[in-house]
Amino acid sequence: MSEIKKCITASCIIYKEGKVVLVHHKKLGIWIYPGGHVDPGEHPHDAAQREALEETGLKVELVSCGDITIRTNDAISLPMPFTILQEYVPYQTGAHLHFDLIYAAKPVSGELRLAKDEATDIGWFSKEEIEKLDTLDNIKQVLLAFFAKCKLAENII
Ligand SMILES: [Zn+2]
C-alpha cells in the first residue's frame, strides 16, 4: 500500500477594513484563501506571499501572529502563522495530506485581479458573507476564528 503524499503548503488570509480576499478555485470549485505548495528550498512565509501575489495581484506583508522574537547567531524567528492545519485533499490524481501554514497578511500595493488559469472569481468578503458561503467547513471555521480575533487583528493589521 502506498503512503499518502505529504506536503508543506502555505496560505494567506489577506485582511483589510473588515474583509478578507477569497478566490473561487477552478479545480476545487470552492471559495478559498490564496495558497499552495511550498517550492523546494522556499521559505513557507515567502510561499504565502508569492501565492497571494499570483492569485490576487496584491503584494502583501505578513503579520506575525506570535510575539516571541529570537535572534541569535544561528537562529531567528520567522513570521508566526495564524494557525496550522492538517488537511486531507482528495485530488483526482491521488490524495495529499497537507500541512498548511495559514498566515495573516495585509495588502501593501497592487490591484485585485483574477488569475484566470486558477480561479473563476475573486472578491473581498465580510464575516457575514463568509457565514453564508458555500465552502469547506475547515476554511469557514478558520475564517470565522480569524474574524473572532479581529480586535487583535485591527491592532496589528
Ligand atoms: Zn500536496
pLDDT tens per residue across span 86-113: 999 988 889 999 999 999 999 999 999 9
Question: Would you state the cell numbers that stand for residue 23, as one nine-digit string?
Answer: 478566490
Q: What is the pLDDT of residue 44?
A: 98
CATH of domain 5-156: 3.90.79.10
**Side-chain-facing half-sphere of 145: CA atoms under 13 Å:** 13
Residue 61 CA to ligand 1 centre (angstroms) = 25
- As separate numbers, helices (DSSP H) first and strands (DSSP E) second, the chain gives 4, 8
> What pLDDT score does 87 carry?
96
Section 4-9 average pLDDT: 97
- In this predicted structure, what is the pLDDT of residue 66? 87
Q: What is the pLDDT of residues 145-156, one digit of tens each?
A: 999 986 555 555
Write the pLDDT tens digit of every residue in 110-138: 999 999 998 999 999 999 999 999 899 99
Q: How far apart are CA 124 and CA 19, in angstroms?
A: 6
Report whether 106 contacts 15 (CB < 8 A). Answer: yes
- Residue 74 Cα to ligand 1 midpoint, Å, equals 30
Query: How much is the pLDDT for 3?
Result: 86
Give the Å distance between the CA of 34 and the centre of ligand 1: 15
Task: Give 7's pLDDT tier (boundaries 50, 70, 90).
Answer: very high
The model's pTM is 0.92
Q: Looking at residue 76, what DSSP letter applies?
A: B
Are 108 and 59 a contacting pair, CB within 8 Å? yes
- Alpha carbon of 47 to ligand 1 centroid (Å): 14
Q: How many angstroms does the Cα of residue 57 sit away from the middle of ligand 1?
A: 23
pLDDT confidence tier of residue 157, bands split at 50, 70 and 90:
very low
How far, in Å, from the CA of 32 to the mean position of ligand 1? 16
Give all strands (DSSP E) within the chain, no chain letters.
5-16, 19-25, 31-32, 35-37, 59-63, 83-91, 94-109, 119-125
Handedness of CA 10, 2, 25, 82 (dihedral sign): negative
* Interval 56-86: pLDDT, tens: 999 999 998 888 899 999 999 999 999 999 9
Ligand 1 centre to CA of 70 (Å) is 30
Separation CA 83–CA 118 (nearest Å): 24
Expressed in angstroms and rounded, the spacing between residue 28 Cα and the centre of ligand 1 is 13
Query: What does the pLDDT read at residue 23?
Result: 97
Domains of the chain, by residue range, sit at 5-156
pLDDT at 151: 59
CA distance 39 to 96: 15
For residue 55, the surrounding DSSP H or E stretch is helix 44-56
